[in-house]
Copies of this chain bind each other. A is one copy, B any other.
Amino acid sequence: MDNTDISYGVAFVKRTGITALELGRGSARLLMPLAGNENHVGVMYMGAYTVLAEASAAIPGFSILDTERFFPILKDIAVSFHKSAASDVTAEFALDDKMIDALLSDLESKGSATYVAEIPMHDADGLKVATGTVTVKLLSYAWKGAAAGGLS
């Protein structure tokens, strides 16, 4: 995984200028820049939060996969807004070892595995400005019915 580009060739994501501050096996800490992502009154626009929440949730799952056999899809995403952010916004999420083992075990035995990531998002002063809740499903290419998922 390239630390400087986490857009996976998705132009929509690349346009936001999102960057990785730290990536590990099962973990990610990401930054959404304010520049280019302002709303009409100069604070972070809603859509930038959803991209940040999704990437923070999905990249840790992606990072534990044998990507020749498995792939992640998004089931749903929700973001609640607490305060406006007049700065860059950061988010992080990590799957713990026990969760990683359970996900990989489910993938082998059932062809799919699901986790829900809760993603607090903070401005440059450390204030929690929004909270994301993202359901990520991991699927096997080989498993029957894998194509039925809501790929987004």
Q: Which of A21-29, A71-79, A94-102, A103-111 is the interface stretch?
A: A71-79
Sort A-B residue pairs by CB-CB distance and give the 6 closest, nearest first: A81-B150, A78-B78, A84-B151, A76-B80, A50-B50, A46-B152
A75 to B84 CA separation, bound complex (whole angstroms): 11
Alpha-carbon distance A115/B13, docked complex (angstroms)? 30
A77 near B9: Cβ-Cβ < 8 Å: no
Which residues of A in the span 11-47 have a Cβ within 8 Å of any Cβ on B?
11-13, 15-16, 36-41, 43-47
Task: Check A40 against B10 for contact (C-beta < 8 Å).
Answer: yes
Determine the distance from Cα of A45 to Cα of B56 in the docked complex, in whole angstroms.
Answer: 16
A48 interfacial contact with B, CB 8 Å: yes
Size class of A's contact patch? 35 or more
Interface string of A79-94 (1 = CB under 8 A from B): 1111110000000000
- A interface, CB within 8 angstroms of B: 8-13, 15-16, 36-41, 43-51, 54, 73-84, 129-130, 150-152
Chain B residues contacting A13 (CB-CB under 8 Å) are 45, 47
CA distance A81 to B16 in the complex (A): 22
A22 CB to nearest chain B CB (Å) = 22
Q: Is there an interface contact between B77 and A45, defined as CB atoms closer than 8 Å? A: no
Contact of A49 among B10, B79, B152 (CB under 8 A): B152
Q: How far is the CA of A47 from the CA of B79 in the complex (A)?
A: 12
With A76-B79, A78-B76, A84-B152 as known contacts, state yes or no: A50 contacts B46, CB within 8 Å: yes
